[in-house]
Amino acid sequence: MPDKDKIAITLDHGAGGKLAHQLTTELLLPLFDNPLLAQLHDGAVFETDQGRLAFSTDTFVVDPLFFPGGSIGELAVNGTVNDLAMCGALPRYLSMGLIVEEGLPMADLRRVLEQARAAMDLAGVQLITGDTKVVPRGAADKLFINTAGIGVVPPGIRIGGDGARPGDRILLSGTMADHGIAVLTQREQMAFQSDVRSDTAPLNAMAQAVLAAAPGVRVLRDPTRGGVGTALNEIAVQSAVGMTIQEALLPVDPAVAGICDLLGFDPLYLANEGKMLCCAPAQQAEAALAAMQASPYGRRAAIIGEVTAQEPGRVVMATRIGGRRIVDMLTGEQLPRIC
Amino acid sequence: MPDKDKIAITLDHGAGGKLAHQLTTELLLPLFDNPLLAQLHDGAVFETDQGRLAFSTDTFVVDPLFFPGGSIGELAVNGTVNDLAMCGALPRYLSMGLIVEEGLPMADLRRVLEQARAAMDLAGVQLITGDTKVVPRGAADKLFINTAGIGVVPPGIRIGGDGARPGDRILLSGTMADHGIAVLTQREQMAFQSDVRSDTAPLNAMAQAVLAAAPGVRVLRDPTRGGVGTALNEIAVQSAVGMTIQEALLPVDPAVAGICDLLGFDPLYLANEGKMLCCAPAQQAEAALAAMQASPYGRRAAIIGEVTAQEPGRVVMATRIGGRRIVDMLTGEQLPRIC
């Protein structure tokens, strides 16, 4: 985008929607062009002498650091664990890079790191290398955490955003938008009481269970920033397929739905931190669903729609009232610093 | 440090000196306790089914983004490349996590990333996964970059901070403090003209050449934050040896020495971004030195001292005027946001 160099970075460039997609495809991909990066998946899978490894990274800038259901510590661990899990990998090792603002109470740092450690134990991963930078007051806001992770991809597993086929069923492992709403209500000091908690959770065991139960699954994705709507669009584009989802089948917690109605948010575009999407061949869809529902993080899993051959790259929602609505990629930032 | 939880994080906690060491050994290591992390090396080395891999991460918060001799883009690549190289590894793959402040000119981001790409080509590594977060104006300062990297450790290579033995010669691959002074003069808009440029450079080829020429080398380290003085102290502690270095043998560029004199900085504690230390058995020291000097980044390499059995953990400098000065670990932050 040579003519666009006069523009400045906006919040939308980080929102996981259209502008972020454009930044990736127009600046980052051409610049760092290579086949592994071009997979455009949650993580990259590369061959070693024996076996394949997955490698992924994610940075967390969530505000506030602590919110109902979790903290930046758990997010930073689960985020990278889940990116690896969505490659079909068994997450093994993490790195952690901290950027701390001068003045952060040591007790807050300790609490965040303790919660990170607990999340690592739950996911079965180890922190093996790290780095800490402290910046002067005002040069960063409290604490940012980057994690990168390495996982082992079992033989025979081939997962990618381009693996959806017409006829596949689309599965979602539980309710949408819990994380987005939990952070939002905490941040805005909302007057109303809410029991909504972040869904931050490790998805590696559930992902492996799904792949064991439904070996035909070729697409896994965790709908974080940009939500389910954006993640489905990415898959539809990469697989060159259409998708139809049923509004009536989309799991949403009633409290989350209520807050979304009140504030004018669409749960399809709010962040999730412990949910996964998968596309499963029709004859294996029930087995995949059962595997999800057997997980403590997948009890409300549902089949939400179907992959189609019509209108490749387009996601359509059949509404409750019998209409048909196009589900576009998120445009603009709904909630900055949500993860 | 349970009684210390009331304290807050200070700049010194990120300075690569005593407080940073304390944060690592008293909070991070006990919390994330595992043998790989406890290596306390620039990167962690772990076994896979066939062969060993090295994994490392580093975050860059340098201010300003551009300085004589480089930018945050080159630093972010070379920093992780060098951490892997100091494990004896061949760096292969990088991840990159960007935190961008809203309002950063797109042209600046593009320039940084182009310089990162050029540095990757020079080092022979590929970016294979990444993440971009944008935070609102004022929540971060311009741009922070985290990189993590994976390298392959050739069979037979065993490098660690604990491998120094009495009688080993201590080698430094070139002049000290160039990076620290280059950033400082740029940042402070100094009135005097200076030709000092950052030494940011990839050290992987030089490290491999040293290991080929001097297979008895068991310690490699790049003296970044905290400088040569702090890096030597870390090795002395981990190896439980003493060290004596000769002031007269320490390579310092005259312009850097002059600025240090003027401003009261000690080049022993200023950051380097393209230099390495190694400890080589006495009979292989000349071969290691020749390998360094044959590299474009090691022309001014020198043998600067010797590992001793006296006073384990202590580094002593024989001064030009025949005195003896203890070289302690850096205490306090000389220059925040130097890398």
- CATH number for the domain spanning B183: value is 3.90.650.10
Query: B316 CA to chain A: closest CA distance, Å?
Result: 28
Given CB atoms, is A96 within the 8 Å cutoff of chain B? yes
Statement to judge: residues A180 and A148 lie in one domain: no
Q: Both B322 and B177 in a single domain?
A: yes
What crossing angle do the helices spanning A285-293 and A204-213 adopt, rounded to 10°? Answer: 150
A48/B51 Cβ within 8 A: yes
Q: What is the pLDDT of residue B159?
A: 94
Q: How close B292 gets to chain A, by Cα (Å)?
A: 27
Q: Can you say how many angstroms the Cα of residue B50 is from the centroid of all Cα atoms in its chain?
A: 29
| pLDDT digits 0-9 by tens, B315-326 | 999 999 999 999
Q: Is B43 exposed, middle or buried (0-12, 13-18, 19+ CB in 10 A)?
A: buried
Calpha distance A167→A280 (Å, rounded): 9
Q: Pick from B200, B338, B202: which is nearest to B270 by CA?
A: B338
Which chain B residues touch A144 with a CB distance below 8 Å?
99, 140, 144
CB atoms B14 and A63 under 8 Å: no
Asked if residue B200 and residue B315 are part of one domain, the reply reads yes
Q: Which of residues 44-73 of B touch A (CB under 8 A)?
A: 44, 46, 48-51, 53, 55-61, 63
Q: Report the C-alpha gap between A269 and A31 in whole angstroms.
A: 29
Shared domain check, B175 and B137 = no
Higher pLDDT residue, B200 or A28? Answer: B200
Check whether residue B10 and residue B61 sit in a common domain.
yes
DSSP per-residue letters across A262-315: HHT--GGGS--SS--EEEE-GGGHHHHHHHHHTSTT-TT-EEEEEEESSSTT-E
pLDDT reported for residue B335: 77
Shortest CB distance from A9 goes to which of B8, B24, B104?
Answer: B104
DSSP conformational letter for A338: -
Contact B9 A100 (CB under 8 A): yes
Q: Are the C-beta atoms of residues A11 and B134 closer than 8 Å to each other?
A: yes
Task: From A327, A318, A276, select the one nearest A300 (Cα to Cα).
Answer: A276
Interface of B with A in 107-136 (CB under 8 A): 107, 109-110, 113-114, 117, 120, 126-136
Q: For helices B72-85 and B106-123, what crossing angle results, to 10°?
A: 30
Instruction: Tell me how many domains chain B contains.
Output: 2
User: Could you tell me if residue A30 is inside a domain?
Assistant: no
Contacts of B60 in chain A (CB under 8 A): 133
CA-CA distance, B73 to B65, in Å (whole number)? 8
Q: Are residues A102 and A219 in the same domain?
A: no
Residues A100 and A245 in one domain: no
Is residue B143 located within the same domain as residue B183?
no
Interface test mutation site (partner B, options A53, A59, A112, max chain B beta carbons within 10 A): A59
- A contacts of B35 (beta carbons < 8 Å): none
Confidence at A4, pLDDT banded by 50, 70, 90: low
Of A19-23, A156-160, B301-305, least confident by mean pLDDT is A19-23
Q: Which two tokens stand for residue A70?
A: 């979790």
- Among B330, B291, B76, which residue's Cα sits nearest to residue B205? B291
Which amino acid is residue A285, in one-letter code? Answer: A
- Count Cβ atoms below 10 Å from residue B266 Cβ, excluding itself: 15
Q: Give the residue among A27, A80, A120 at the shortest CA–CA distance from B57.
A: A80
- Name the A residues in 23-42 with CB < 8 Å from any B CB: 23-24, 27-28, 31-32, 34, 36-37
Give kind and range of the element (H or E) at residue B317: strand B315-318
- Assign residue A121 the CATH number of its domain: 3.30.1330.10
Assigned domain for A243 exists: yes
In-domain check, residue B262: yes
Whether B9 and A106 lie within 8 Å, measured CB to CB: yes
| Alpha helices for chain B (secondary structure H) | 18-23, 29-31, 72-85, 106-123, 178-187, 204-213, 227-239, 254-263, 285-293
Name which of A13, A45, A42 is nearest A26 in CA terms.
A13
* The predicted structure's pLDDT at residue B2: 46
CA-based nearest residue to A57, from A31, A32, A81, A25? A81
Query: Does the residue B337 lie in any domain?
Result: no
pLDDT at A77: 98
Residue A97 lies in a domain: yes
Flag residues of chain B having pLDDT under 50: 1-2
Which chain B residue has its CA at the smallest distance from A27's CA?
A: B110
Dump pLDDT digits (tens) for A254-292: 999 999 998 889 999 999 999 999 999 999 999 999 999
pLDDT-wise least confident of A3-17, A22-36, A155-169, B311-325: A3-17
User: Does residue A335 form part of some domain?
Assistant: no
Contacts of A124 in chain B (CB under 8 A): none
Phi and psi, residue B220, nearest 5°: -130, 140
Would you call B141 and A150 a contact, using CB atoms and an 8 Å cutoff?
no
Interface confidence (ipTM) of the complex? 0.93
Contact B48 A43 (CB under 8 A): no
Q: Based on the domain organization, do A66 and A208 belong to the same domain?
A: no
CA atoms lying within 13 Å on the CB side of residue A285: 18
DSSP 3-state percent helix, strand, coil across chain A (nearest 5): 35, 25, 40
Q: Is residue B192 part of a domain?
A: yes
Position B31 scores a pLDDT of 85
Amino acid A1: pLDDT: 45
Same domain, residue pair B149 and B180: no
Q: What confidence tier does A35 reach under pLDDT thresholds 50, 70, 90?
A: confident
More reliable by pLDDT, B85 or A333: B85
Residues B94 and B25 in one domain: yes
Residue of A nearest to B42 (CA): A129
On the CB side of B41, how many CA atoms lie within 13 Å of its CA? Answer: 30
> What pLDDT was estimated at residue B45?
84
Taking CB atoms and an 8 Å limit, are B144 and A144 in contact across chains?
Answer: yes
End position of a domain, from candidates A128, A153, A178: A153
What was the pLDDT predicted at B1? 45
Distance from the Cα of B271 to chain A's closest Cα (Å) equals 14
Note the pLDDT of residue A294: 98
CA angle B118, B144, B179 (to 5 degrees): 60
Picking from B103, B131, B144, the nearest residue to A58 by CB comes out as: B131
Q: What is the pLDDT of residue A2?
A: 46
A36 to chain B: closest CA residue? B128
Domain for residue A13, yes or no?
A: no
**CA B233 to each of CA A223, B10, B217: distance values in angstroms, whole numbers, following the listed order:** 47, 22, 18
Residues from chain A contacting residue B46 (CB–CB below 8 Å)? 93, 128
A 252-311 residues with CB below 8 A of B?
none
- The neighbour count for residue B128, using CB atoms within 10 Å, is 25
**Where in the sequence is the domain holding A314, given as residue range(s)?**
169-327
Residue pair B98/B131 in contact (Cβ under 8 Å)? The answer is yes
Q: Note the pLDDT of residue A333.
A: 62
Average pLDDT over residues A82-93: 96
CB-closest option in A11, A97, A136 to B136: A11
**Are A251 and A292 members of one domain?**
yes
CB within 8 Å of B322: residues ≥ 6 apart: none
Q: Are β-strands B315-318 and B242-246 bridged in parallel, bridged antiparallel, or unpaired?
A: parallel
For residue B248, how many other CB atoms are within 10 A of its CB?
Answer: 10
For residues A123-136, average pLDDT: 93
